Protein backbone atom coordinates (compact mmCIF):
# COMPACT_ATOMS: atom_id res chain seq x y z
CA UNK A 1 0.00 0.00 0.00
CA UNK A 2 1.44 3.35 -0.98
CA UNK A 3 1.38 6.46 1.22
CA UNK A 4 -1.29 7.98 -1.03
CA UNK A 5 -3.61 5.02 -0.41
CA UNK A 6 -3.24 5.46 3.33
CA UNK A 7 -4.44 9.09 3.11
CA UNK A 8 -7.21 8.83 0.50
CA UNK A 9 -10.73 7.53 0.73
CA UNK A 10 -12.67 6.77 3.88
CA UNK A 11 -12.52 4.31 6.75
CA UNK A 12 -14.46 3.53 9.90
CA UNK A 13 -14.63 6.45 12.32
CA UNK A 14 -11.58 6.44 14.58
CA UNK A 15 -12.32 5.58 18.21
CA UNK A 16 -11.19 8.99 19.49
CA UNK A 17 -13.40 10.81 16.93
CA UNK A 18 -16.66 8.93 17.52
CA UNK A 19 -19.89 10.72 18.45
CA UNK A 20 -23.59 9.94 18.87
CA UNK A 21 -24.70 9.17 15.30
CA UNK A 22 -28.38 8.81 16.28
CA UNK A 23 -28.43 12.32 17.78
CA UNK A 24 -26.79 13.68 14.62
CA UNK A 25 -29.34 11.83 12.48
CA UNK A 26 -32.19 13.35 14.49
CA UNK A 27 -30.73 16.83 14.08
CA UNK A 28 -30.28 16.33 10.33
CA UNK A 29 -33.90 15.14 9.97
CA UNK A 30 -35.13 18.28 11.75
CA UNK A 31 -32.78 20.82 10.12
CA UNK A 32 -31.82 19.67 6.61
CA UNK A 33 -34.91 19.69 4.40
CA UNK A 34 -33.80 17.04 1.90
CA UNK A 35 -32.22 14.71 4.47
CA UNK A 36 -33.60 11.16 4.56
CA UNK A 37 -31.93 8.30 6.46
CA UNK A 38 -30.78 5.75 7.22
CA UNK A 39 -27.38 7.31 7.94
CA UNK A 40 -23.95 5.71 7.73
CA UNK A 41 -20.88 7.65 8.89
CA UNK A 42 -17.36 7.15 7.54
CA UNK A 43 -14.24 9.19 8.28
CA UNK A 44 -12.00 10.58 5.58
CA UNK A 45 -8.43 9.38 5.97
CA UNK A 46 -5.79 12.03 6.61
CA UNK A 47 -7.01 15.43 7.74
CA UNK A 48 -5.64 15.16 11.25
CA UNK A 49 -6.33 18.79 12.24
CA UNK A 50 -10.11 18.78 11.80
CA UNK A 51 -11.76 15.38 11.50
CA UNK A 52 -13.85 15.18 8.35
CA UNK A 53 -16.68 12.71 7.89
CA UNK A 54 -18.67 11.37 4.98
CA UNK A 55 -22.35 11.09 5.89
CA UNK A 56 -23.99 8.59 3.55
CA UNK A 57 -27.71 8.11 2.94
CA UNK A 58 -29.38 6.06 0.21
CA UNK A 59 -29.97 9.15 -1.94
CA UNK A 60 -27.27 11.65 -1.03
CA UNK A 61 -23.90 12.07 0.67
CA UNK A 62 -22.81 14.96 2.87
CA UNK A 63 -19.50 16.09 4.33
CA UNK A 64 -19.18 17.12 7.96
CA UNK A 65 -16.14 18.77 9.52
CA UNK A 66 -15.58 19.34 13.20
CA UNK A 67 -13.00 20.44 15.69
CA UNK A 68 -11.01 17.58 17.18
CA UNK A 69 -12.16 16.29 20.56
CA UNK A 70 -10.58 17.74 23.68
CA UNK A 71 -9.09 21.13 24.40
CA UNK A 72 -7.77 23.15 21.46
CA UNK A 73 -5.74 26.33 21.30
CA UNK A 74 -7.77 29.51 20.90
CA UNK A 75 -8.10 30.34 17.20
CA UNK A 76 -6.94 26.89 16.12
CA UNK A 77 -9.22 24.45 14.29
CA UNK A 78 -11.55 27.31 13.35
CA UNK A 79 -14.22 25.34 11.50
CA UNK A 80 -16.69 28.05 12.51
CA UNK A 81 -14.57 30.64 10.67
CA UNK A 82 -14.34 28.29 7.69
CA UNK A 83 -18.13 27.97 7.68
CA UNK A 84 -18.59 31.76 7.72
CA UNK A 85 -16.21 32.17 4.78
CA UNK A 86 -17.95 29.45 2.75
CA UNK A 87 -21.37 30.91 3.52
CA UNK A 88 -20.17 34.39 2.45
CA UNK A 89 -18.72 33.06 -0.82
CA UNK A 90 -21.72 30.94 -1.79
CA UNK A 91 -23.88 33.78 -3.24
CA UNK A 92 -20.94 35.32 -5.15
CA UNK A 93 -20.75 32.67 -7.85
CA UNK A 94 -17.62 30.94 -6.54
CA UNK A 95 -17.93 27.17 -6.53
CA UNK A 96 -18.11 26.29 -2.83
CA UNK A 97 -19.96 23.57 -0.97
CA UNK A 98 -23.37 24.54 0.37
CA UNK A 99 -23.36 24.90 4.16
CA UNK A 100 -26.44 23.41 5.79
CA UNK A 101 -25.29 24.60 9.21
CA UNK A 102 -22.29 25.80 11.13
CA UNK A 103 -23.67 24.31 14.33
CA UNK A 104 -21.12 22.43 16.36
CA UNK A 105 -21.12 18.64 16.37
CA UNK A 106 -20.39 19.00 20.08
CA UNK A 107 -23.77 20.74 20.42
CA UNK A 108 -25.59 18.29 18.17
CA UNK A 109 -24.15 14.85 18.85
CA UNK A 110 -22.43 14.96 22.22
CA UNK A 111 -24.51 13.98 25.26
pLDDT reading at 24 higher than 70: yes
CA pair distance 42, 10, nearest whole angstrom: 6
Q: In this predicted model, which residue has the larger pLDDT, 84 or 110?
A: 84
Q: What is residue 42's predicted lDDT score, i.e. its pLDDT?
A: 96
Residue range 79-103: mean pLDDT, rounded: 74
Mean pLDDT of 20-39: 91
HSE on the CB side for 88, CA within 13 Å? 6
Give me the phi and psi of 22, to 5 degrees please.
-65, -40
Q: What confidence score (pLDDT) does residue 8 get?
A: 82
SS3 at position 108: helix
- Tell me: pLDDT of 2 over 70: no
Neighbour-count burial of 33, counting CB atoms closer than 10 A to its CB (0-12 exposed, 13-18 middle, 19+ buried): exposed
- What is the enclosing helix (H) or strand (E) of 52? strand 52-56
Amino acid sequence: MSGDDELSGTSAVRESHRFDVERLKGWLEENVAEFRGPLTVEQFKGGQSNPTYKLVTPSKSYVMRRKPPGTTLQGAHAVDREARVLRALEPTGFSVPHKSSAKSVRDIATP
